[in-house]
Every structure is written in C-alpha cells, then in structure tokens.
Structure 1
Amino acid sequence: MTASSTPHRVDGRAARWAGQHERRRREFVDAALRAIAEHGPEVSTEQIAEQAGVARTRLYKHFTDTPDLQAAISERTVELITAELLPALDPQRTPVQMVRGVISAHIGWLVEHDNLFRYLTRYAVSSRSGGRDAFTDTKSAIAGHLTLMFEHYLGAFGMDTRVAEMSAFGVVGLVESSTSRWVEHPGGMDREELADLLTGWVWRLIDDVLRSGGVELDPHEPLAAQELSARGG
C-alpha cells in the first residue's frame, strides 16, 4: 500500500459511515413519527426506541440529546408538509384556486396528523431557552417557500419585492393561528367552511398588497397567463 492511497481509503470509510449514520437517523425519525401517531404528543423516548426496535441508548448514538431528536422530527415534518403544499402552488391555477388549495392541504394535513401537530406545539412550549423551536422551524420553512414565490410574482408585476417576506409570514401566521385554534375548538365549523373563510381572508390580504402597488389581478384567471400578460407576452 502506498502512502498516497491511505487517505482515499480513510475518506471512503468516513463517507460510508456518514451515509449510514444519516440513513439510521432518518429511520429513527420515521419510527418517531409512527410512535407519535400511536402514543400521542406525550410519547416517550422509550416508546420511540421500541417502535424503532432498538434500546433507548441506541438512539443516542445517532442523536446528541432529546432536543436533537425533536429538531430532526421537525425537519422531517417540514419535508412532509412541503410535499403536501407545493403541488397547490401551480401557476396554471387561478390565484384563488392556489390559495384555497394550499389552505385545504394545510387543514387536511393537521387533521390527519393531529398528534404530530400537538407534539410540535408541546415542544415549542417546552423548548429550552436558546434552543431550536420545532414549531417555529416548520412555520418559517413554509413562509420561506411563499416568500420566494411572492418575490417572483411581485417582481414580474413590477412591484417592490421587499414586501414579499412580511406578506408571506403574515399569511402563514394568519392561517396557522386560525387553523390551530380550529383544531382545538372547531366551534361547529367544518373543514370546508374554515377553508372558505381563510381563503377569503388571505386573498383580500394579497389583493390589498397588490393594489397598493397598482396591480389588479383577476382572482379567477390562471396566474401564469396574467404574468405573461404583465411581461408583454
């Protein structure tokens, strides 16, 4: 063996270990999601380990502590929610269809993953000072996707893109807080009624931002066609 070949072998082993480590972390996170669905938001680390088929101590060979596991669960949740919401942001749809699609997908996801939602909420309340807040992580990720979309279309319509981020976070905050309250206290309102209510609110917010910049979108015409028209196409 030559001296020059040794680092390559070490690097190869390190890469394989890193890949295996990440794969195992993801498997444990998926097991945690199943355990949360089964046992609820107060799921214990022991129950997560049992779901994964390993001893509790085995988990902590892949996570530094409980907050690290909770943060990984949050990251996986962001992936799942994003996969549900992004298809609704199809510019071939009308603006109102896009708004309604995202809101309906969000409500549906919360209803179907009620225990996970409560788990993230519980973690947000109990998160150690200065630590990562899983609930905030999730909302910020969704708002980040909306910010990019808002920046694109505000730019296409010749508007100030600086309002994109605040608008996105405002929309997410409105939908998140209203939906969270509805999950806890429906008040006799069903999912479709809630989606209708929120769609109206969100569209009026977006419409107000656009009108302040001199842009009037037709809520019932595909967004892509309106963008093309604005660009002179």
Structure 2
Amino acid sequence: MTGPPDACARPSRATALPPDERRQAIVDAVVPLLVEHGTQVTTRQIAEAAGVAEGTLFRVFDDKAALLHAAAHSLLDPVRTRQALAGLGEELTLEQMVHAVAEQQLRSMTRVMAVLMAVRGTGRPQGSGRPGPPAFVVESSRVLLEELTTLFGRYSDQLRVEPARAALALRALVFGSRQPWAQETDSLTSEEIATILLAGVRRA
C-alpha cells in the first residue's frame, strides 16, 4: 500500500516535442508577446509562453535576435497567407468579402509590424544588405497581392477597376492603418476600410 504523494515532489516532465515542433512552438509564442510588450519582451517571458525552459531557447536559437528573425520569417510565410485567404467562401458578397479580408489583414498587419520593428531593433541585417526590404518580405507582399487579386477576380463584373488595382488599394488602406507610430485614433477600422474601398472600386 502506498502513501499519499509527497507534496514536495516535482511534477513529471512533459513529453519532449520533436525538434521542429519545439522550434515552431517557441516561434509561435513570440508573436503575441511582441504585440503586447514590444522589444522589451524577455527570453524568460518567451520561454514561459512556449512552455520550455529558458535555456532551451538558446539550444534551439543562437540568440534572441535569431529567434526574432525566425518569427518574422514564419509570420510572413506565403503559405500562411494562402491558407488564411483560402478560407473565404465563394458564397460571400463583394461587401462581405472586403470586410472579412480587411478585418483579417488588420489583425495580421498588427502582428507583422510588431515583429518587424523588433527585428529592426536587433540591429542585425534582415536580408542581403541591399537597399530595400528583405526578399522574404517582398515575396510575402507579392503573394498577398496575388491572392487578393484572385479574390477580387470573382467579382470582376461588379468592379469598375481591374481586380489587381482593387487588391492594391485594399492592401494600401490596411498597411496605412497599421503604422507602428500611429495612434489608435489614427487607424481605420475594417468597416471604414470596406466602405472607403467599395465606394471607389464598385460599379454604381
């Protein structure tokens, strides 16, 4: 007969994740922390959110800067963009689609800006050293425009501009509403973006 468990006994350690899953769990934990705390987020906070020991971070990543760069690459992975927009059904009206995309992209842009500002704060080059944004940022933007153009193409008979121009306008409105230096009152809501965009691109 065994007695009651020792109150001071340590809980059993959780099953270790495979290396790739552990790496992704850490990367996924970083993004909401950067949105909340900005560049002041600590490795201890990251480790706690990811459910790993702080030392594990530095066995997976060389340093905090490498972790932030990995988070930026993961967040801007074109596969994520395609998957997010693929969930918008063809049964949506033009207005419903624009509103849904605007809301989705505003949330995404908030995360993207937080991560990219943190990466910039590391002082480590993000790309090849050439002027302009890193190649992975350019590719992510290209895929977003491509996917938005496809979405607007469903409603081409309702547009007075080419689908690609409507996609460009939507991206510009979202991007302009999520600049890191903007105050909350300076930002457009998804409803406002949809109203402004549709007033300009939809046939009368």
Give secondary structure in 1 for the equivalent of 2:18: helix
Give yes or no for contact 1:96–1:203 (8 Å, CA) kept in 2: yes
Give the equivalent residue in structure 1 for 2:19. 21
Paired with 2:83 and 2:182, the residues of 1 have a C-alpha distance of 18
Deviation, structure 1 residue 81: 7.3
Give the equivalent residue in structure 2 for 1:128. 124
Query: 2:41 is matched with which residue: 14, 18, 43?
Result: 43
Give yes or no for contact 2:148–2:167 (8 Å, CA) kept in 1: no
Residues 166-206 of structure 1: CA deviation (Å, up to 9, x unaligned): 6534421321212447962315x8x7xx3332113323454
Give the partner amino acid of 2:68: Q
Give the equivalent residue in structure 1 for 2:69. 71
Deviation, structure 1 residue 145: 3.8
Deviation, structure 1 residue 72: 2.6
Deviation, structure 1 residue 36: 3.9
Aligned-residue sequence identity (percent) comes to 20
Give structure 2 stretches of 5+ with no counterpart. 1-16
Deviation, structure 1 residue 43: 0.5
What is the TM-score of this pair, normalised by structure 2? 0.59
| Structure-2 change in CA distance of 1:150 and 1:37 (3 Å) | closer
Paired with 1:184 and 1:84, the residues of 2 have a C-alpha distance of 30
Give yes or no for contact 1:88–1:101 (8 Å, CA) kept in 2: no
Give yes or no for contact 2:68–2:119 (8 Å, CA) kept in 1: no
The count of aligned residue pairs is 178
Deviation, structure 1 residue 49: 3.0
Confirm whether residue 203 of structure 1 aligns to residue 198 of structure 2.
yes
Give the equivalent residue in structure 2 for 1:16. none
| Structure-2 change in CA distance of 1:124 and 1:203 (3 Å) | farther
Give the partner amino acid of 2:174: V
Give structure 1 stretches of 5+ with no counterpart. 1-18, 208-215, 219-233
Paired with 1:91 and 1:183, the residues of 2 have a C-alpha distance of 34
**Which has the larger share of helix?**
1
Paired with 1:155 and 1:93, the residues of 2 have a C-alpha distance of 10
Paired with 1:37 and 1:149, the residues of 2 have a C-alpha distance of 25
Deviation, structure 1 residue 59: 1.7
Give the partner amino acid of 1:203: L
Paired with 1:94 and 1:72, the residues of 2 have a C-alpha distance of 37
Give the RMSD, CA atoms, in angstroms.
4.5
What is the TM-score of this pair, normalised by structure 1? 0.53
Give the equivalent residue in structure 2 for 1:171. 170
Residues 79-122 of structure 1: CA deviation (Å, up to 9, x unaligned): 79749952663221111110011113344x36xx96x5663252
Paired with 2:120 and 2:136, the residues of 1 have a C-alpha distance of 13
Deviation, structure 1 residue 142: 6.1
Paired with 2:18 and 2:173, the residues of 1 have a C-alpha distance of 40
| Structure-2 change in CA distance of 1:85 and 1:124 (3 Å) | same
| Structure-2 change in CA distance of 1:200 and 1:140 (3 Å) | farther
| Structure-2 change in CA distance of 1:184 and 1:202 (3 Å) | same
Paired with 2:197 and 2:173, the residues of 1 have a C-alpha distance of 8
Give secondary structure in 1 for the equivalent of 2:60: coil
